[in-house]
């Protein structure tokens, strides 16, 4: 476990460095091309600022994007039962109680975010709360707590937020290359003539970003998501001492046909199961951020506790 924690911290450090290098490199190239040194200054400022933001506030952005609301201690009976379930597992795992969130959606799913166990959050959909038994839900929560304890949440939170920034920059550059101002107004005919060469260069950079951003995102997810899911399954099963609980939960999640309404490609790798329903093709399975559920279930049922 300690090796996993160290590895996750190291991966996060290198990911932030790569992000800084990419944005500063683009800023440097743009400042030379347009002979405007201030572009490099803003590139450095934005890249450092967004790295800081992803570490300290990335989890809040992800929870907001997912439509999650925090469960309070004085909430309804059903919600307080969830809190007590998490509390008991945290005592067993030796973890502080994370913030608990609910997402109003019939699709059963869950995820954890944060930068460390002291600043962690767990989000559950109303679908997973309603459709699983107590034992099955316990297995799911134990899986998410394993992500917290192993510091998987730090790496995945930073990955999601920084890659989201790259996609937003690509979108902005694409709009700018088409002669659209930040307010969405089209440039005048004379301005287009004056800036035609600059817009052409910006369009090339935008295309590179638009092509590479999703590829980069998928490669990062493939590198970090699959193995950590197996590890979290095993760690969660060790926490509850009942692997069958999580195995049965995963079976129900596999059979459910609801798709998460607020799911998006940026946050898909955070969830316990892929929020997008699969077609089952070989290529799709190879590029999925999650290992096949059948293999995860088989691995759980092969555990002898």
The domain ranges of the chain are 1-305
> How high is the mean pLDDT of the chain?
80
Does the structure show a pLDDT above 70 at 225? no
Q: Assess whether pLDDT exceeds 90 at residue 87.
A: yes
Residue pLDDT, tens place only, 161-205: 777 776 666 666 556 555 544 444 444 445 545 555 555 666 566
- Ranked by mean pLDDT, the top range of 19-23, 33-37, 52-56, 206-210 is 52-56
From edge to edge, which strands make up the β-sheet containing 99-103? 68-70, 99-103, 120-125, 110-114
- Mind telling me the catalytic residues? 144
- Say what percent of the chain tops pLDDT 90: 38
Q: Which of 29-43, 120-134, 280-294 has the highest mean pLDDT?
A: 120-134
Q: How much is the pLDDT for 299?
A: 93
Identify the CA nearest to 110 among candidates 150, 141, 78, 153.
Answer: 141
Task: Read off the tokens for 40.
Answer: 């490099």
Q: Which residue has the tokens 């932030």?
A: 16
Reported as a single tens digit per residue, the pLDDT across 114-173 is 999 999 999 999 999 999 999 999 999 999 999 999 888 888 888 777 777 766 666 665
pLDDT at 75 over 80: no
The whole-number pLDDT of residue 186 equals: 47
Average pLDDT of span 57-66 = 92
How much is the pLDDT for 195?
53
Confidence of residue 282 (pLDDT cuts 50, 70, 90): low
DSSP letter at 70 equals: E
Task: Specify the pTM.
Answer: 0.78
**59-67: average pLDDT:** 92
Q: Given this model, what pLDDT does residue 223 score?
A: 60
Place of tokens 């300290």: 56
What's the pLDDT at 19? 72
Pair of tokens at residue 219: 């490669």
SS3 302: coil
Residues 177 and 202: beta-carbon distance below 8 Å = yes
Confidence check: pLDDT of 59 > 80: yes
What pLDDT sits at residue 16?
A: 74
Q: Look at the block and give the residue holding tokens 């019939």.
A: 106
Residue 108: which of 279, 233, 214, 260 has the closest Cα? 260
Return the bridge partners of 123, or none: 101, 111
Question: Across residues 293-305, what is the average pLDDT?
Answer: 91
The pLDDT value recorded for residue 174 is 58
* Residue of 291 and 249 predicted with greater confidence: 249
């Amino acid at each position: 476990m300690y090796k996993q924690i160290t590895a996750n911290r190291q991966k996060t450090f290198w990911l932030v460095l790569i992000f800084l290098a990419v944005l500063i490199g683009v800023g440097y190239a743009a400042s030379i091309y347009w002979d405007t040194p201030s572009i490099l200054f803003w590139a450095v400022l934005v890249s450092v600022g967004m790295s800081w933001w992803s570490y300290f506030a990335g989890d809040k952005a992800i929870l907001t994007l997912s439509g999650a609301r925090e469960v309070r201690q004085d909430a309804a009976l059903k919600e307080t039962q969830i809190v007590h379930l998490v509390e008991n597992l945290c005592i067993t795992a030796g973890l502080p109680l994370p913030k608990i969130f609910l997402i109003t959606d019939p699709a059963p799913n869950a995820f954890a975010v944060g930068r460390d166990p002291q600043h962690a959050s767990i989000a559950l959909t109303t679908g997973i709360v309603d459709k699983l038994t107590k034992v099955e839900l316990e297995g799911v929560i134990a899986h998410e707590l394993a992500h917290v304890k192993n510091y998987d949440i730090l790496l995945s939170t930073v990955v999601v937020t920084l890659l989201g920034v790259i996609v937003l920059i690509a979108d902005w550059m694409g709009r700018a290359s088409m002669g659209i101002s930040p307010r969405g107004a089209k440039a005048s005919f004379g301005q287009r003539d004056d800036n035609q060469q600059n817009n052409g260069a910006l369009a090339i950079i935008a295309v590179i970003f638009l092509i590479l951003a999703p590829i980069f995102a998928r490669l990062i997810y493939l590198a970090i998501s699959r193995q950590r899911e197996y590890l979290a399954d095993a760690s969660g099963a060790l926490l509850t001492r009942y692997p069958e609980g999580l195995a049965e939960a995963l079976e129900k999640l596999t059979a459910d046909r609801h798709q998460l309404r607020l799911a998006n490609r940026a946050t898909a790798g955070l969830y316990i199961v892929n929020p997008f329903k699969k077609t089952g093709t070989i290529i799709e399975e190879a590029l999925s951020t999650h290992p096949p559920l059948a293999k995860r279930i088989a691995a759980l049922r092969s555990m002898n506790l």
